Amino acid sequence: IRKMLFAMVDDIRVILVKLADRLDRMRNLKFVSAQAQRAVAKEVIDIWCPLASRLGMSDVKSEMEDLSLKYSNPEVFQQIKSIVAQKKAERAEYLNNAVKKIYTATEKAGITVNITSRAKHFYSIYQKMRKRNKEPGELYDLLALRIICNTESECYTLIGIVHGLWKPMEGRFKDYIAMPKANGYQSLHTTVICEGKPLEIQIRTQEMHSIAEHGVASHWLYKKGTNHDMVKAEDLSIINQLRALRNEDLSDEKFFAELKSDLLGDSIYVFTPKGDVKELPAGANAIDFAYAIHSGIGEKVVGAKADGKIIPLTQPLKNTQIIEILTNPQAHPTQSQLQAVKTSKARQKIHSWLVENDPTFIDKEAQEKREAEIAANTLYSKKIAEENSAERKRKAALKKQQSQNFTGRIRIENDTNFLVTIAQCCKPVPGDPIVGYVSHSRGITVHRADCLTFLRIPSIQERSVAVEWDTSTDKKQEKKDKLLEQNREKSRQKQIEKNQYKKQR
């Protein structure tokens, strides 16, 4: 996954093919085991659905989310499906009445529109159930209308018409045309009270709709002469974030932590006093914002204002706030800041400064890593010790067995009366498969049959001889060998005496 994501930086089509592959896999997931279904569904919901969302591909995202819910929590999926089906007729009548009112109002205003109605996706309903702790039947804002018009100015005219027809709910109007999402999504959102129930309405142009449904893939789906309004891969924030991550030395565990928190998690958008937009992960604070502007500002931050009011540095920022950072040349990063920040950039910069400049700083991450390495080495040493102990026991047992079955001599054909040298590289013991060859000065040299040194000897094929361990129990042979050994000992003693006599002279 890491390789694919980094390849996406250079060619966005890499990830489009992979998303198509994941979607096809989800559509055919019924043919695998339940355990495999849950594993694939979890991976899709954790990685591929948020990724599709960041690329603006809402149609792919929604279908994968619904299929993931179907296989990861089939009981809830069927419950939501049955409730949505039960109220289908009631919902159709309610939406038809709302659509007729909008068409009548737009005709009077001379605006041509196309209106579609839909129920929210099952996974979206499931998320609302979890957040509000309610049953599907208790949720009312499950319906939405989408109004497609021709120009951006018509979008703002239509929002006035809709708010004239029904009372809007406070705090539910969002202008994603003036401030598009990071994936290029543009639309006006509002929720009104229609016949006593909340009704969500989205207003956008046809081009905005193409981008909303297909995101970056709209380049290849819609080419009507020019596509300068289409979202471009190089403009997506996730591409720039991945480009920055590619230059960092991250382990797989750290990479996925950053991926899930910064890249694929929920985002907020806050402004600098000059009006520049900064995208931050949900839960980020003013320290994260300061480092997002510049590392030098982050290191000197001492306070912050949100919409002109002083706020604590560690307080989570809210969407669309205007943040002003207060700095002091004497300030520097602290350990409490390291614990408070949410973004990987701020965490890494603060950590690096503390390691270099704060002698009291205890690098818990490095300490834990060292402890893990020590524990791993201890386990490895224990394993090796156990293996060596088992090997010693095996050899002892083999030696005991060999002392009963083998004489310790080397036999060549029917004779054992040869000068034999045991190779020190492999040290064969009685019972081991052996091979021998004629050496130039040490008679027959014997190796283990699997010895690599033996195989590297020049002209080994011409010099090798067939050898085996002797298992003879012939008493005459033993007596003969004993006499031979005694004669050798006498010869050695005579040689020693001769050498001593020469020294004396």
Length of the chain: 505
| Domain contains 48 | no
Tell me how many degrees the CA angle 301-305-306 measures, rounded to the nearest 5: 130
* 434 within a domain of the structure (yes/no): yes
One domain for residues 103 and 208: yes
Are 49 and 81 in contact by the 8 Å Cβ rule? The answer is: no
Rounded Cα distance, 280 and 258, in Å: 13
Q: Are residues 354 and 396 in the same domain?
A: no
92, 173: one domain: yes
What pLDDT digit, counting tens, does each position of 341-361 carry? Answer: 888 788 888 888 888 888 877
Return the percent helix, strand and coil in the chain, to nearest 5: 55, 15, 30
Per the structure, the complete domain to which residue 149 belongs is given by: 74-231
Distances (CA, A) of 127 to 122, 314, 479: 9, 28, 93
- First-to-last C-alpha distance (Å) of the chain: 86
Residues 389 and 419 reside in one and the same domain: no
The pLDDT tens digits for 118-166 are 767 888 888 877 776 766 555 555 678 999 999 999 999 999 999 999 9
Distances 345 to 340, 408, 477 between C-alpha atoms, Å: 13, 70, 83
Whole-angstrom distance, CA of residue 376 vs CA of residue 366? 15
Residue 138 in any domain: the answer is: yes
CA dihedral 423, 424, 429, 435 (to 10 degrees): -30
What does the block give as tokens for 116?
Answer: 């579609």
Is the Cβ–Cβ distance between 92 and 81 less than 8 Å? Answer: no
Q: Are residues 460 and 373 in the same domain?
A: no
Q: Are residues 354 and 374 in the same domain?
A: no
**Would you say residue 141 lies in a domain?**
yes
Exposure b/e, 227-259, CB count within 10 A at least 16 = b: beebbebeebbbbebbeebeeeebeeeebbebb
Judge whether 246 lies within some domain.
no
Inside any domain, residue 439: yes
In a domain, 211, yes or no: yes
Q: Is residue 214 part of a domain?
A: yes
Answer yes or no: do 115 and 175 share one domain.
Answer: yes
pLDDT, tens only, 6-30: 777 777 788 888 889 989 999 998 8
Of 207, 231, 255, the one marking the end of a domain is 231
Which ranges constitute the DSSP H helices of 176-270?
Answer: 206-214, 218-221, 237-246, 252-258
CA–CA separation, 470 and 329 (whole Å): 88
Cβ atoms of 423 and 449 within 8 Å: the answer is no
Q: Hunting for tokens 């019972």 — which residue is that?
A: 431
Q: Is 261 helix (H, G, I), strand (E, B) or coil?
A: helix
Q: Which of 352, 386, 405 is the last residue of a domain?
A: 405
The tally of domains found in the chain comes to: 4
**Mean pLDDT of the residues in the chain:** 79
The structure's pTM equals 0.54
Q: Which residue has the higher pLDDT, 35 or 251?
A: 35
- Residues 200, 109, single domain; the answer is yes
Lowest mean pLDDT among 172-176, 205-209, 293-297, 481-485: 481-485
CATH of the domain at 141: 3.30.460.10
Q: In the numeric block, which tokens belong to residue 24?
A: 């096809």
Tell me the pLDDT band of 261, cut-offs 50, 70 and 90: low
User: Same structural domain for residues 154 and 101?
Assistant: yes
Do residue 367 and residue 319 come from a single domain?
no
Residues 82 and 200 in one domain: yes
CATH number of the domain that 307 lies in?
3.10.20.30
348 shares a domain with 286: yes
